[in-house]
Structures are given as C-alpha cells and as structure tokens.
Amino acid sequence: MSRQFDAVILGAGAAGLFCAIEAGKRGRRVAVLERAERVGKKILISGGGRCNFTNLYCKPDNFRSANPHFAKSALARYTPTDFIALVEKHRIPYHEKTLGQLFCDGSARAITRMLEAECHAAGVQIFLSQRVQEITRTAEFVARAETEAFSAPVLVVATGGLSIPKMGATSFGYEVARQFGLRIQKTRPALVPLVLGRKEQKEYCDLAGVSMEVIAAADGQEFREKMLITHRGLSGPAILQASSYWERGKPVQIDLAPQRDVTSAIRESKTRNAGAARTAFLGILPKRFAERWVELHEPSQWTNAALAEYEKQIHQWSFKPADSEGYEKAEVTAGGVDTDELSSKTMESRRVPGLFFIGEVVDVTGHLGGFNFQWAWASGAAAGRAL
Ligand SMILES: Cc1cc2nc3c(=O)[nH]c(=O)nc-3n(C[C@H](O)[C@H](O)[C@H](O)COP(=O)(O)OP(=O)(O)OC[C@H]3O[C@@H](n4cnc5c(N)ncnc54)[C@H](O)[C@@H]3O)c2cc1C
C-alpha cells in the first residue's frame, strides 16, 4: 500500500520546499520526501552559515547552461524582489554584503524556519529520513523509500547536485532522468577551488593565505574579485567563479594587477633593475607575492620593449590547473538534466508528462553570490504553480 498525494516532491532542499509551498497554496496535497533527518541542510551551511539567499542584480547572464535562454522565463516570473518580500514578511533581518548579495544578519536557520512555516501554512506534509530508492510508473508515479511508498500523478525531482557528498548528496535525480529517457549534460564540480600543477604549487603555495584582487578568466568569462592562495592552489571568489567555466586541460588567465600600470615606476626610475622592480610591485601587490613574482620573473633585459612584455605578464598570468578540488569542495554541480528536455515555463519533462525537475539537478548553474538559491526559488515556483 502506498500513501496517496496530488504531488510527490523528492528532496526538501531550497527548490523542493519552495515548489511544495507554491503547490500547497494552490490546494494540492503535497508530500515532500527527504533522506536527511532535517530539511534544508545546505541552506544551513550556505553563505558561511548566514545564507546568501538572493542577489539584487540577478540577470540571466549570471547563469551557465547549455541553453543560456532556458532560465529566463522562470527567473522573470519569480524575482529577487519576490523572495525579499517573503523574507520581510517573516521579519528576518538581512543586509547587502557586496555586489547585491543579500545575507541574513543572523543564522541561515531563519530561512529554513521560514520555509517550514510556509510549508505548514500551505498544508504540505514533509517526510524526513525517507531515502527514495526507486521510482516506478504505471497509472501514477510511485516513490519507494525504505519503509514506505508514496504515489501521485505528479513527481517533482529536487534532489540537488553531487557537491559535498559527506552531506548526503546523491546522484538519484540524474538516475531518475535516465530511467525516463531524459538526456543529461555532463556533470562536473563548479564554484570550486583549483589545484595548481606541480611547478606552480612549488612556486606559490607556500604563500597560502595571501589574497589580492584580480581578474580571473576562463573560457572567455571574466570575474574581478578576490583570489586566495591555498596549500594546493587557488581559491577565493574570483577563482570559484572562473572554475565554473574552466575545463580540464584548458588554461585560466589572471590579471594580477587590474587597471594598474606596474612597470611605469621602473621605466621612470634612474636605475632599472630588480630593486626598482621590487619597489614597483610592492606598491601594487601584497608584499610576499610581489617579492615572489619579482624573484621568479626577472626580465632578461630592462629595455622598454622588455618592460612592456613584463607588464603584459602580470596582466596575463596563464596556467593550466592540474585539477579542481572536486565535489568535496564544490559549492555546486554544473551540468545536469538537459534543459531541452524540459518546459522553461513549468520545468515539466517534454517526454514524460507529470515529471518535473527543479533546482540544481537541472543544467542551470548560477554564479557565486546568491544566484543558485534564486534559481532554486524561481524554478521551484515555476513548477509549483503548474502542479
Ligand atoms: C557550502 C555551500 C555553500 C553554499 N552557499 C550558497 C549561498 O550562500 N548562496 C547560494 O545561492 N547558493 C549557495 N550554495 C549552493 C546552494 O546551496 C544550492 O545551489 C542549492 O541548495 C540547491 O538547491 P536544491 O534544492 O536544488 O538542492 P539541495 O539543497 O541540495 O537539496 C536536495 C535535497 O534532496 C535530498 N535528497 C537527495 N537524494 C535524495 C533521495 N534519494 N531521497 C530523498 N531525498 C534526497 C538531499 O538530502 C537534499 O536535502 C552553497 C552550496 C554549498 C555546498
């Protein structure tokens, strides 16, 4: 025997809960099945525990997908302003940290409490510690967990991506997509620190902890933010952003001194030598990095032409990362259920009526800064309104 609902949603993360609220408000009997013992575990750890829940400047350009147009419709129909109104209705204090990123003043728990309260008000039933292991479909979809089964004419897959496996990320959503014949865009870790090759590790990684503002670029996308040197490579917002566009074997370029003319001081100095270079770089880069750069990159000559080349080097540091830090450290998973398989208005499968995919399991990946949650809310709302 299975319990009967109008809609069964797999995953009580950001997207699943939001979809449940919208569908519940429209009078649907909704069950949300969650493998963990509590809802929204990723929300709780997000934004350093304060949840960067949206971004004021959210645009379709802030998302990567094989089809860059896919997210437009859902994002336009549920905007950051809509989510802010909900946050304000629940009197959750928040602030803009930087670049339109909105964070809770207190704990991210305020967001999960808000979602739980909204679910409760909408009559949504949440079943915790229910790891769904199998989906079957005859007249209806049946989701089987260890001890119970849940059936409904509609199934929404909101099981998230593969990042942070130790928090219980599963590939179940992708398996359901494959089971029903939907294509998947290859998945890979995104918003993830990069590991340098052996040579660069030797040259720079003892400077772990040094950070500076840079422009990091991969596959033609540029991000001007902070970069941090780590024990194995590079991290910080600029690198995390670029990592979403980086592919193994391809280079990353870094402008280490954006909009600065580093060598003008050397050109103007009476003595053109390593000492003058050191002084010039010290004024612009963090001390330890400046010293290391000069040590490793002394030009063979001090002519104007050689200095022009020297200047170019600092603005176009190009290297091939050995790897990324993988799903263990990735904030999100790029790739996922191919958007060509889904309606951009409702997130419903074009081939399998009644089957929906929302949130991170879909091939839509946001930039760093609250965009991934905005996609979870927006895609959840799009599906919830269609159930
Ligand atoms: C450390 C970290 C910090 C982050 N900070 C931010 C931030 O500040 N701002 C931002 O916008 N984004 C942030 N993100 C990204 C954001 O958390 C995700 O994009 C978002 O949570 C995706 O929502 P989702 O509902 O699609 O998936 P999830 O939140 O991952 O939810 C999926 C749910 O499905 C459940 N599940 C999986 N398989 C099964 C199964 N077989 N049966 C039942 N349940 C199942 C999981 O337990 C989980 O609860 C962060 C991510 C990480 C890892």
pLDDT in tens, 201-217: 999 999 999 999 999 99
Region 109-118 average pLDDT: 98
Distances (CA, A) of 251 to 16, 176, 313: 37, 35, 15
Distances (CA, A) of 105 to 79, 91, 110, 308: 21, 11, 10, 47
Give me Rg for the CA atoms of the chain. Answer: 24
Return the ligand 1 atom nearest residue 131 CA: 42
- Take atom 31 of ligand 1 and give the residue whose Cα is closest: 13
Report whether 363 contacts 338 (CB < 8 A): yes
Q: With a 6 A CB cut-off, is 45 part of the ligand 1 pocket? A: yes
Q: With a 6 A CB cut-off, is 144 part of the ligand 1 pocket? A: no
pLDDT in tens, 144-186: 998 899 999 999 999 999 999 998 899 999 999 999 999 999 9
> What's the CA-to-centroid distance between 42 and ligand 1, angstroms?
5
Report whether 169 contacts 219 (CB < 8 A): no
- Take atom 22 of ligand 1 and give the residue whose Cα is closest: 360
| Residue 116: partners with Cβ closer than 8 Å, 6 or more residues away | 17, 39, 126
Assess whether pLDDT exceeds 90 at residue 286: yes
Q: With a 6 A CB cut-off, is 132 part of the ligand 1 pocket? A: yes
Return the ligand 1 atom nearest residue 370 CA: 11
Q: With a 6 A CB cut-off, is 164 part of the ligand 1 pocket? A: yes
- Separation between Cα atoms, residue 323 and residue 341, nearest integer Å: 30
Assess whether pLDDT exceeds 90 at residue 300: no
> What's the CA-to-centroid distance between 229 and ligand 1, angstroms?
27
Q: With a 6 A CB cut-off, is 360 part of the ligand 1 pocket? A: yes
